[in-house]
Structure 1
């Protein structure tokens, strides 16, 4: 009994020194101050290090992200912001692009080699007989922060639709940075380019081809 008690004491000391009181653990606890329980789980997922630490799994993080995305009802939110009914923007089927946003956010590589980040973007594009409407919404899993925007363009003012690969700088703790390549949908208009994350859309190329065809028809 005495040996078991001794082993438990030693194990507790090792855990306290190596895990709870480590520089990494202290830094994580500092970042987590004032966060809710879900945000704490996300921060720990991205930042906690060490063989004796425990965080949510890759799949659990993705489930949390999908649940938040779905709860936002972004298709309807987009229509509300644009101020149109869906039957007014049915020239072709609406397009949705989505994916992680890495720039200035927490990021890590999953067990399968794919990158994830603490921020996610969803964009809806709607097409009327004369205009294209684009709604973008970015939300963060580690903090109460979001951004949204709406733009509208006449077909004649849109130069092109395309895809591009962009390198973004994400971060970890204590000055760690990661260079992550991300696929973007690009809409070129006079004097500007609109970029939208699209890594989370398996049929993105087919969607873009349909949009290109409609743009060509409108410019004839």
Structure 2
């Protein structure tokens, strides 16, 4: 899980060019209207300081694509991690392809959450989550994870096993959540959520970043669960 925490913090930090621009303007005014050498020198220093301030404010600030890429790289080996946490061998769970869903998590994990709307109008969160589902002959095995993109060691994991007869539904649904973004403005975030529900009323959920990429495997999971329930 190679996450660039320090770089990602810059993405979720509110940055304004105002101070740098003001310093540059003051420097230009001093340089143009004053004739004394010392005043001109101070004006040039102010311009240089303003440029430097703008550079250090925005240099290295990651793009929307950088954050998406960091999240993707962090879960590149999630299938292997899930098998290890569940104590499974891949040969035991080859009935169908595993279901892997993941997306930005807009709630707290431990220390909080930062939310920013990107240039593409997508709300990205400093927290991320996902689920991996494996299918053996008699049971469904689930691994859920949540982690921070800006705070090291801030993560949660859980594993569960369900008999097919105890699964009520596997569904996706549209959800709405109210958040405060990095400008402290309340925003409404709309996203798709995956949900598995059991007869005991328990459920396991995850947001879905790209519903199109998982629709086929979710459909396959529904079919298998339905067949297993009929056979049980």
Q: Are 2:183 and 1:217 equivalent residues in the alignment?
A: no
Task: Identify the residue that residue 42 of structure 1 maps to in structure 2.
Answer: 8
Shift of 1:80: 1.1
Match of residue 70, structure 2, among 41, 64, 72: 64
For residues 165 and 190 of structure 2, the distance between their equivalents in structure 1, rounded to whole angstroms, comes to: 32
How many pairs align? 182
Shift of 1:138: 1.1
**Structure of larger gyration radius:** 2
Gaps of 5+ in 2: 18-53
Matches within 5 A, 1:190-209: 190=199, 191-209=201-219
For residues 75 and 203 of structure 2, the distance between their equivalents in structure 1, rounded to whole angstroms, comes to: 25
Task: Identify the residue that residue 35 of structure 2 maps to in structure 1.
Answer: none
Give the TM-score normalised by structure 2.
Answer: 0.72
Gaps of 5+ in 1: 1-36
Task: Identify the residue that residue 128 of structure 1 maps to in structure 2.
Answer: 136
- SS of the equivalent of 2:195 reads strand
Matches within 5 A, 1:64-213: 64-70=70-76, 73-104=77-108, 105-144=113-152, 145-173=154-182, 175-190=184-199, 191-213=201-223
Is the contact between residue 107 and residue 178 of structure 1 (CA under 8 Å) also seen in structure 2?
no
Shift of 1:63: 2.6
For residues 111 and 204 of structure 1, the distance between their equivalents in structure 2, rounded to whole angstroms, comes to: 25
Is the contact between residue 14 and residue 183 of structure 2 (CA under 8 Å) also seen in structure 1?
no
Sort the Cα spacing of 1:195 and 1:56 in 2 relative to 1 into closer, same or farther, 3 A.
same
